Amino acid sequence: MSRVRGKRVPVAVAGQAPAPPAEIRPGQSIELLKELHILTRDGKLNQDSRRKLKQVYHLYGFIEPLLDETLAARGDLTLVDHGAGKSYLGFILYDLFLKERAVGHVHGIETRAELVARSQALAERLGFGRMRFLNLPVLESIASRELPDPVDIVTALHACDTATDDAIRFALARDARHIVLVPCCQAEVAATLRQHKQTALARGALAELWRHPIHTREFGSLVTNVLRCLLLESHGYQVNVTELIGWEHSMKNELIIASRRGPPRGNARARQEEILGALGLEDLRARFVY
């Protein structure tokens, strides 16, 4: 490393591959970062990928303590990532946390067969031997014998629409210690609000909150996440909701982290019922109250 105007810059040594950019942590797989388009083909960061890397580290900062806690408590860990897509989250977690350890498994659940095959091939190429990918819908994975017991950590990053709800169902069925969700757009609540809008407007002023179409969508999304948090609390999880800073390119940057802590919050279920009743969402009871 040398310094140019106070900045640390990597030095290329003649005959060797150029040193990775300073932001790359020691031991990180350069091949993986290229596959994820965080590094360019010639091993550099551009403005976009520098931002992407910052986001990845930011998210990792939330998940690393959960991995640490699980390993300390159990001496092993199983993480299941739902709606994995290209599995960049699973790969980054494996690369940064599990690669140098002898324990810990990551399972990616994804309905698109070509992405599953691609991730499996990449894991083999990188020698990430404790990663598995299943071509299954989230709901079917609940009963899958291909997933071990226990499952410690469940993640779902922008899993489409109700796949986040299915991931919650999975996590509750498997009694996961930690659940990390970045919900995607969920259209179901907004559709139900839309369906009963005229009745709600006739009933009172509250319906002004979702009268305009853009508000119907945004309010629907907010109500969905509130009902999800209450569901988790009704099962004894402590819930933190925060923002995934740096995720400006996405409208969906709400991060929900739930950790199993003990007795359910007493009024969580009653509050869900009250919200469903007040907003005319009783049709969705089975989705959120169980």
Ligand X SMILES: C[S@@+](CC[C@H](N)C(=O)[O-])C[C@H]1O[C@@H](n2cnc3c(N)ncnc32)[C@H](O)[C@@H]1O
Query: How many residues in total does the chain contain?
Result: 290
In this complex, which beta carbon is closest to ligand X, that of residue 146 or of residue 208?
Answer: 146
Does 249 participate in binding ligand X (rule CB under 6 A)?
no
Query: Is 79:106 a contact under the CB 8 Å cutoff?
Result: yes
| Residue 98: half-sphere exposure toward Cβ, Cα within 13 Å | 27
Minimum distance between the CB of residue 20 and ligand X, rounded to whole angstroms?
A: 23
Binding residues for ligand X restricted to 46-85, rule: CB under 6 A: 83-85
Beta strands in 122-235 (DSSP E): 131-134, 153-157, 178-182
In this complex, which beta carbon is closest to ligand X, that of residue 83 or of residue 220?
Answer: 83
Comparing CA positions, the residue from 181, 157, 176, 185 lying closest to residue 241 is 181
Among 126, 142, 160, 187, binds ligand X (CB under 6 A): 160
Among 64, 111, 191, 289, binds ligand X (CB under 6 A): 111
CA gap 156, 166 in Å, rounded: 10
Minimum distance between the CB of residue 242 and ligand X, rounded to whole angstroms?
A: 17
Minimum distance between the CB of residue 199 and ligand X, rounded to whole angstroms?
A: 31
Among 132, 158, 177, 178, binds ligand X (CB under 6 A): 158
Handedness of CA 119, 104, 68, 79 (dihedral sign): positive
Minimum distance between the CB of residue 47 and ligand X, rounded to whole angstroms?
A: 20
Q: What are φ and ψ of residue 114, in 5° steps?
A: -65, -30
Among 39, 77, 157, 181, binds ligand X (CB under 6 A): 157
Q: What are φ and ψ of residue 242, in 5° steps?
A: -145, -175
Size of the site for ligand X (CB under 6 A): 18
Give the pairing of strands 7-9 and 254-260: unpaired
Minimum distance between the CB of residue 172 and ligand X, rounded to whole angstroms?
A: 16
Among 35, 165, 166, 233, binds ligand X (CB under 6 A): 166
Binding residues for ligand X restricted to 117-156, rule: CB under 6 A: 137-138
Among 50, 101, 112, 125, binds ligand X (CB under 6 A): 112
Does 109 participate in binding ligand X (rule CB under 6 A)?
yes
Minimum distance between the CB of residue 98 and ligand X, rounded to whole angstroms?
A: 18
Task: Give the residue at shortest CB distance from ligand X.
Answer: 85
Query: Is 156:82 a contact under the CB 8 Å cutoff?
Result: yes
Angle between helix 187-195 and 213-234 (nearest 10):
120
CA gap 290, 286 in Å, rounded: 7
Among 159, 181, 189, 227, binds ligand X (CB under 6 A): 159
Write the single-letter amino acid at 153: I
Minimum distance between the CB of residue 115 and ligand X, rounded to whole angstroms?
A: 6
Q: Is 42 exposed, middle or buried (0-12, 13-18, 19+ CB in 10 A)?
A: exposed
Which residues are near ligand X by CB under 6 A?
Answer: 83-85, 88, 109-112, 115, 137-138, 157-160, 163, 166, 184
